Amino acid sequence: MSPSRPDPGSFRDPASTVLRHGDRVLRGLGAEAAGAFEATAATAAYREAVAAGRIVGTRRLDASEVPADLVGRFEAVLEHDPIPFISYPYEWSFSMLQDAGALHLELLLASLEEGITMKDGYSFNLQFVGARPTFIDVGSFEPVRPGPWIGYRQYCQTILYPLMLEAHLGVPFQRTLLGHLDGIPPQEMAKLLRGTKKYRKGVFRNVTVQAATDRRFDRGGRKTQEDLAASGFGAELNKALTKKLLATTTGLRSERSESAWVAYRNTCSYSDADREAKERFIRDVVADRRPGSAWDLGANDGVYARIAAERADQVLAVDYDDVTVDAMYRSFRADGITNILPLVMNLVDPSPARGWRNAERRAFTDRGRPDLVLALALIHHLALAANVPLAQIVDWFADLGGTLVVEFVEPHDPMADRLLGNKAAGLFPDYRIEEFERLLGERYQVTSHLRLPSGGRTLYVAEPRG
């Protein structure tokens, strides 16, 4: 087996290094970090959180289990349960980021009760397993030290402020977080929350005061931390402040208007016969293949992701509309569905590689390979709304790999006609079913197809050639 390699996103904490060893996820700990882990693992709060899936499953390897290339390099080596698909906060909906933030603070509160704290508050320390947030940075836990919670500023910048951006200003946070991996600085947030907005719950304490502290103490530096510790700022005060921060986080509400796509299934051109035939077709395909991983691209309300999840181990439900994805997430959470991960993603401009050396955060399609791709009522949006040539769309599907279930919406269909309404006549001469079938046949072997009863849409099942 190839040697263990450090995860490109783990270099910021040299005392707790995440490594990949084949399909295994390991963590190498220095002497101090190993002691902190042992102290944390001995607490009831940690054990209960791991058992409930709120902290990623983790065990310390015996000396005989440590890979040969890691022997002697670390004081201790841990192994984590792998996360089915790594996602990032700028791909989450409002409720997803809010639930992740609440989990972070709940774990902090429970840990403080047993003399343990966290040394950061980064949103990237959380992941989703289906619709369940999970804390993954076990190396963040350490025994309580005098002074305020050192992760407070980071939590505000990467979790609280993005939520406030949407709750108080009606601005989706995803694009802002994509461009600011370290979050929104306090002084920038203070400039945004002016006028009466600065009197909203939690804004003065968590935004205005922090921005003023930045100006006065040069970003709150080490001396400020030491002065507060010397003044008696300890665990009890941290508990009280964390409770207030949790109440502020969970009390935020997004008041953005309903998206046009939330009600898509009620306004689109499907008849009841079309819908029933399409669902039956998808259910048969999924039952026949039982994919390990299925990607529903352009998932809308998630009905077909749910069908795929009946047989697939893991499903990604991807849509560009964050309000739609939020509704999906809340429905999956309410129904206890644990194997569908909803993500906010513009497929014409998907999440790129980001961070140091463009490797810290990986591009969307570099994080996994689907066994089954559902592209239902998607092509006309890519081709007619975003002007992507049909040939390039088919090539993209082929690059993803796996079995493809794709729907072609013909130009006379009402939804396609609506997209063509603002385009110049004759702009899409190649957008024809005959041309699509020709292109599909070059890259795939079509094994079955179904023309829906209304006659404007056709479904295809295609296997990659070669």
Report, as an integer, the average pLDDT of 307-318: 97
CA atoms within 13 A on the CB side of 240: 4
Specify the pLDDT at position 69.
Answer: 93
In angstroms, the CA 398 to CA 388 distance is 15
CB atoms under 10 Å from CB of 340, counted, come to: 25
Specify the pLDDT at position 414.
Answer: 79
Specify the pLDDT at position 279.
Answer: 96
Structure tokens at 449: 């197809």
Strand, helix or coil at 343?
A: strand
Specify the pLDDT at position 86.
Answer: 97
Confidence of residue 154 (pLDDT cuts 50, 70, 90): very high
pTM above threshold 0.75? yes
Structure confidence by residue, pLDDT tens digits, 356-412:
999 999 999 999 999 999 999 999 999 999 999 999 999 999 999 999 999 999 988
Q: What is the dihedral of CA 377, 383, 389, 395, to 10 degrees?
A: -30
Structure confidence by residue, pLDDT tens digits, 413-437:
877 777 776 666 567 888 999 999 9
Confidence of residue 317 (pLDDT cuts 50, 70, 90): very high
Specify the pLDDT at position 49.
Answer: 98
In angstroms, the CA 351 to CA 345 distance is 7
Specify the pLDDT at position 228.
Answer: 44
Specify the pLDDT at position 282.
Answer: 97
2 CA to centre of own chain: 29
Kindly list the distances between the CA atom of residue 237 and the CA atoms of 96, 249, 277, in Å, as whole numbers in the listed order: 28, 18, 60
Contact 255, 165 (CB under 8 A): no
pLDDT mean across residues, the chain: 91
pLDDT tops 70 at residue 323: yes
Least confident piece of the model among 5-9, 70-74, 86-90, 317-321: 5-9
